[in-house]
Chain A
Amino acid sequence: MTIDQSVALAPASRAIHLIGTDLTEKSLKLHLDGLSGVDAVGLESRAAGLATRSIKTTSKVWALDTIIRLIDLTTLEGADTPGKVQSLVAKAMNPDPSDPTTPRVAAVCVYGDLVADAVAALGSAHAAGGPTGINVAAVATAFPSGRASLAVKLADTAEAVAAGADEIDMVIDRGAFLSGRYGLVFEQIVAVKEACRRAGGSYAHLKVILETGELNTYDNVRRASWLAILAGADFIKTSTGKVQPAATLPVTLLMLQVVGDWYRLTGERIGVKPAGGIRSSKDAIRYLVTVAETVGEEWLDPHLFRFGASSLLNDVLLQRQKITTGHYSGPDYVTID
């Protein structure tokens, strides 16, 4: 099967450039299966080692603010309402009403049909991809399972983009990936990327969710990361948050290594987004350490690293309040979400 290059030339051409032959299901498979295996024990012990770093005082203050700036404040429940999205947006714009120096989060992440509500609630604070303000991210492509026809996935994506989404979080077809049909997964990512094109010709940022909890092995995570990047992902994201295990430190470390390899090969920076299961500041700081040690501090930027989280923000705010006031704070002093 030859991948249809007319869909989107740019991502396919970077894959061809790397693989060095015609882009076929077979050549893609040969390339991905030919990636060296992951040393699982080494990876986990490296992650455990990074998790032991102690971040205190001024570094901690900086880390907490950085975490807030990197958060995609997320609500992805079946019971979401426009009102819930409004309160989420209010929290994104002003995370801690008792302390106006608190930075804003990077984006709010909602289901596609609530994008318009999020955009309306943000008003002038909507970054729309610009350098200041808050982006609107939408999950698309039959999130979280990804079990729908390509036409449905593309329509899902295009609608969210038309409604004003600046970032699209798509899920890959894990069934196809696990049965070895890498070409199909590749094609779908390329097609969704094309569906991210706005009327003006610019593109919404595409985050590709690998759902590492369903990929079973580190080798598969490495393959899926390469596949997503080759197909044109701007970000690779660990999980939907609906499957356990969600983001773990070793998996994120592995994805960062792939991103680092890609940067060395092409000079292009791809983002990473761990999502799901990161609830405490302590955990989040471990991720910051891992990013800084693996791909460098320039990745600690909302364009290149995000946390997909909802309850994490409250914990960070409690820690921040502890540092500002000198005494421990409690859940009565942050908003319930």
Chain B
Amino acid sequence: MSAHLTIPKTYKLYIGGAFPRSESGRTYEVATRKGAFLANAAKASRKDARDSVVAARAAVSGWSGATAYNRGQVLYRIAELLEGRRAQFVDELRAGGGLTEAQAQREVDTAIDVWVWYAGWADKYLQVTGNGNAVSGPYFNISTPEPTGVVAMVAPQNPDVKGTGLLGLVSVIAPALVSGNTVVVIANEAVPLPAISLAEVISTSDVPGGVVNILTGSPAEIAPWLASHADVNALDLAGAGDLDWIDLQIAAADTLKRVLPPEAGVPAPAVDRIQFFTETKTVWHPKGII
């Protein structure tokens, strides 16, 4: 009964809630850490990045307009589905990331925990990062964080660093989603399978199409196009340490993007990461006129 035929798969991108092939038609081979063939992944081109930004832009109003409570529920739903696919993620981290069974399980568990942690912040970060300001006049003066829009990100890349398979990706996507941003993320090039499975999880949860767009392929090729893209509002360079990330920052400065610099490993969960991708809106409201 064990003579089951393995099916080598050719995976696709995740753009606008659909799974298209790369516009360029290119694929690349994904191998285990020891070099054995695992699967084919789509090699995204700059035009796939462009299409992702269009999809992400279209999704901003719906996602940021949803109530904080609703966003929290949707994010929590993703964590539930991650839990359901635990075995698959463990397999992929073992095969592609070269982890042991125990290490892989630990990484998946941590990733789910991080996701739940961020989901919980959706209807709470406002209270922590917003303010009622004291002003000398009969006014309420309230500062409140608003999502910045489309965030492009490079997921942690280095396969030698612990947690870059799934946890790294989750740790960059989740905080941006909490406040209502939409995301275009370049997955770990060497270990893309967990990212592709995460795309499948997201597409079968309640996340509207376009809120998360996942590209597999070369960050060196795609990141400059996202950094200079005029319709991207912020850039998370968490995994761009090995790229010319200074150039990416310079390109991003042309259109005044918020830029998070590279991190050595996997970014730790932090409210700062949620707050970074928000813009503070301050409103004045007269007091005492009823």
Contacts and interface: CB of A to CB of B under 8 A. Distances in A.
A326 B228 CA distance: 9
Contacts of B268: none
B50 interface: yes
A311 interface: no
A327 interface: yes
Contacts of B41: none
Interface string A291-331: 00000000000000000000000000000010000111111
B205 to A, nearest CB: 28
Contacts of A332: 230-231
Nearest to A322: B50
B251 A328 contact: no
* Among B53, B231, B254, residue most surrounded by chain A Cβ atoms (within 10 Å): B231
B228 A327 contact: yes
A328 B228 CA distance: 7
B251 A327 contact: yes
A331 B231 contact: yes
A321 B231 CA distance: 12
A327 B57 contact: no
Question: In terms of DSSP, what is the predominant structure of the interface of chain B?
Answer: helix
A187 B231 CA distance: 52
A263 interface: no
Max chain A Cβ within 10 angstroms of own Cβ: one of B57, B228, B230: B230
Contacts of B140: none
A327 B229 contact: yes
Interface string A50-74: 0000000000000000000000000
B117 interface: no
Contacts of A331: 57, 231
B228 A330 contact: no
Interface in B227-261: 228-232, 251, 254
Interface residues on B, range: 10 to 19
Nearest to B225: A328
Contacts, number: 28
A321 B251 CA distance: 16
Contacts of A327: 225, 228-230, 251, 254
Interface residues of A, number: 9
Contacts of A328: 50, 53, 225, 228-231
Interface in A110-154: none
A333 B225 CA distance: 17
A331 to B, nearest CB: 7
A332 B230 CA distance: 8
A329 B232 CA distance: 9
B231 A330 contact: yes
Interface in B208-238: 225, 228-232
Nearest to A331: B231
A328 B53 CA distance: 10
A332 B149 CA distance: 12
Nearest to B50: A328
Interface in B17-64: 50, 53, 57
Interface in A77-132: none
A326 B254 CA distance: 12
A122 B214 CA distance: 47
Nearest to B229: A328
B182 to A, nearest CB: 13
Nearest to B224: A327
Contacts of B254: 327
A330 B50 contact: no
Interface in B176-231: 225, 228-231
A334 to B, nearest CB: 11
A327 B248 CA distance: 13
Nearest to B254: A327
A220 B67 CA distance: 51
A333 B251 CA distance: 17
Contacts of A326: 228
Interface of A: 321, 326-333
Interface of B: 50, 53, 57, 225, 228-232, 251, 254
10 contacts: A326-B228, A327-B228, A328-B53, A328-B229, A328-B231, A329-B230, A330-B57, A330-B231, A332-B230, A333-B230
> 5 shortest A-B CB distances, which residue pairs?
A330-B231, A327-B228, A328-B229, A330-B230, A329-B230
Given A327-B230, A330-B57, A330-B230, 9 more contacts: A326-B228, A327-B225, A327-B229, A328-B53, A328-B225, A328-B231, A330-B229, A330-B232, A331-B57
